[in-house]
Amino acid sequence: MLTLAEFLFWLVAGIYFYILPFVDRTIADADARDLEAQPEPPARRSAFVARRLTPTTFLIVEHDDIFDEHPFIYARIFAEAKKILLVDTGCGGRTRDRTIEITRLREFIETVCIPDNGGRPLNEGGRMEYAVVLTHCHYDHILGVEQFAVDSPIYQSGHSPSFISPDNLPKNSLCEHLSIRTPTFEPSLVPHRSRLIFFSPRATTNVVLLHTPGHTPDEVALWDEDEKMLYVGDTLYEYEPIIFPNEGNIVQWLWSVNMLIDLVWRTPLPESAMINCGHRTAMRPALDVLRTTKAFMLDVLAGKEKIHRRETRRGIEYVEYVQPGQRYRLICPERLILEAREQLEI
């Protein structure tokens, strides 16, 4: 028979050694289950998406901009030199979607995990330095440039400095027409056929900048010799209207396209070169796209393509041509067609 004291001793011991551990274990198990059931914090939505084109090059698309431009931006990574070359900067992240939190291109590049990049940001923590080439000065390619101009070189064409001067940029970028603030930055103007040298004369690249006036006087192309990739901005693309502003010039455009065809043709295995454009078209066979776009333009000039539509914009008569199958479309002031026919005696 236990005394009261013995009974109380064994009661406390039983609670301490058997019941408390059981309760602890049950609580721990429940906590673990709760943790497992906890949803991942939702990824922050971004105005941009990115996918890999080659081992060192990514395509970034501004997918929901208010201008419906959906510009293509390219990021070429030079891992050894810890540099990243950006081709254009997009529309500045302006979007109608209020759930989009990341609207700055630089934040996207430095913080958003990209599945095609092993789940890591393209330039995690901003470890690589930037250089930016603007293929031309239209607003849908320059509105993100200030994010990089604070600490990085910005390269533009040296072909027509007055076209992109601070006085003329608001008009020629179309920012003035759209009532949006024109970005301010100090570009380095690059001569024709310059090999891009980033940051120091020792950090040279096999990327060559070419003046390709036509769509605009300041249009440039980049030829990446290592990757056999040609970047042509808005000189041309497939399945989207090629649009010339009033400052365009079709004769110069033909000269530029002929130069690009010649450049690609002279490389070893020219058929393997790829073309990347400012909208819609990426990783397409360069030679074929260049030649077929040129053929379409010559058909337009020769009167073989009929005018599909006319429209007056800001007092200027625009015409549109649509190739059967719609691979190529052209919208431009009619004056440019008439001037080209006269100059080329077509």
Near Zn ion in 275-294, by CB under 5 A? 278
Minimum Å gap between C-beta 124 and Zn ion is 29
- For the sheet containing 329-333, what is the strand order? 241-243, 329-333, 316-322, 307-313
| Residues in contact with Zn ion, shown as a per-residue x/- string from 189 to 228 under the rule CB under 5 A | ----------------------------------------
Minimum Å gap between C-beta 333 and Zn ion is 17
Minimum Å gap between C-beta 205 and Zn ion is 24
Q: Which is nearer to Zn ion, 91 or 114 (CB)?
A: 91
- Options 79-87, 163-171, 209-217, 273-281: segment touching Zn ion (CB under 5 A): 273-281
Q: Which is nearer to Zn ion, 83 or 279 (CB)?
A: 279
- For the sheet containing 194-197, what is the strand order? 194-197, 204-211, 220-224, 229-231, 274-276, 284-285
Minimum Å gap between C-beta 61 and Zn ion is 13
The residues, ordered by sequence, that sit 6+ positions from 228 with a Cβ below 8 Å of its Cβ are 267, 269, 272, 273, 274
For the purposes of burial, counting CB atoms within 10 Å of the CB of 139, is it exposed (0-12), middle (13-18) or buried (19 or more)?
buried
Q: Which is nearer to Zn ion, 111 or 246 (CB)?
A: 246
Near Zn ion in 111-150, by CB under 5 A? 140
Instruction: Give the residue among 112, 99, 23 at the shortest CA–CA distance from 60.
Output: 112
Near Zn ion in 226-255, by CB under 5 A? 234
107 binds Zn ion (CB under 5 A): no
Which residues are at the interface with Zn ion (CB under 5 A)? 140, 234, 278
